[in-house]
Chain A
Amino acid sequence: MMRLLAALVAGGMFGAGLVVSGMTDTRAVQGFLDIFGAWNPTLAFVMGGAILPVALAWRLAARRPRSLSGRYFPARPPAAITRQLVLGSALFGAGWGLVGLCPGPALATAATGGLPALVFLLAMGAGMVAAIPVRRSATPASPMRT
């Protein structure tokens, strides 16, 4: 129950934060990536603002054995820079630049963005499903303790 409630609140805050910060506007996102044009630095401020509370949370987490709901905190994955990490991030960045949507904003605009937003969401889901066999063949980054 506690986990469900916190997930609901966190999802809502995430959605509200994306709208408030302007990150649901693909022009602002593509503007950040457009360093050879009219560069828009907003995304850097969003990232900075977001990192602050999470950095604090990681410090708190380091002092406790478990999360408030009893689950262990996610273990630090091995520092290995794998081919999957680099290649996957490269493909993701290309798609991100093409349309200006990453998974969070794609979900946050799913109900308001009309047909284009739905097509993006469906295509993103298809891409995720297509990644399943590749993920299976790769060694898992870290076994999740629950």
Chain B
Amino acid sequence: MLEPDWIAGLLGGLLIGSAAALFLLVNGRIMGASGIAGDLLDGTDPGGHRERLAFLMALVAVPLLIDRFVTPVITHVTPNLALIGVAGVLVGFGTRIANGCTSGHGVCGLSRLSLRGIVAVAVFIATGVATVALFRHAWGLT
């Protein structure tokens, strides 16, 4: 590691948490990426669709602006489109069934000491670790 990644991590984390705090205190909603995108997709609570759209537009646009005018946003996504397709379906389906992802169950749930959040985080980190172990170390893929 050439630079202290954890300082950037902590600062970025504070920014993410402040966003979630703002969304909670002003909008009265949980800032969960899968919930906001998913509710828009399946038409849950149409009254909140405009703010969901505004949230998602800014979430997509700000990294684009940073990429164009500040520093390139490097993603290192695998070029294997089949793998991406499978992973995307698992992420979309799983987070909706579980009612939350890293931001909803992770950031918002853990900070509320929600039992459901704690269980969800423990489970998705466990299967994430197992998947990386299998695909990277056992089978030499990804």
Chain A positions within 8 Å of B, measured between CB atoms, are 2-4, 6-28, 30, 33-37, 40-58, 60-61, 66-74, 76-77, 79-81, 84-104, 106-113, 115-117, 119-132, 134-135, 138, 141, 144, 146
Given contacts A123-B84, A123-B92, 4 further A-B contacts (CB under 8 A): A17-B15, A91-B94, A125-B92, A135-B96
Whether B127 pairs with A90 at a CB distance below 8 angstroms is: yes
Partner among B8, B31, B60, B131 whose Cβ is within 8 Å of the Cβ of A108: B60
The complex places the Cα of A51 from the Cα of B18 at a distance, in Å, of: 9
CB distance from B77 to the nearest CB of A (A): 4
Chain B positions within 8 Å of A, measured between CB atoms, are 5-6, 8-31, 33-34, 37-38, 41-42, 45, 47-48, 50-52, 54-64, 66-67, 72-79, 81, 83-99, 101-103, 105-108, 110-112, 114-116, 119-121, 123-133, 135-137, 142
CB distance from B120 to the nearest CB of A (A): 4
Closest to B38 in A: A128
- Known A71-B28, A86-B119, A102-B101; contact A123-B88, beta-carbon cutoff 8 A: yes
CB distance from A58 to the nearest CB of B (A): 5
Closest to A79 in B: B115
The complex places the Cα of A98 from the Cα of B82 at a distance, in Å, of: 11
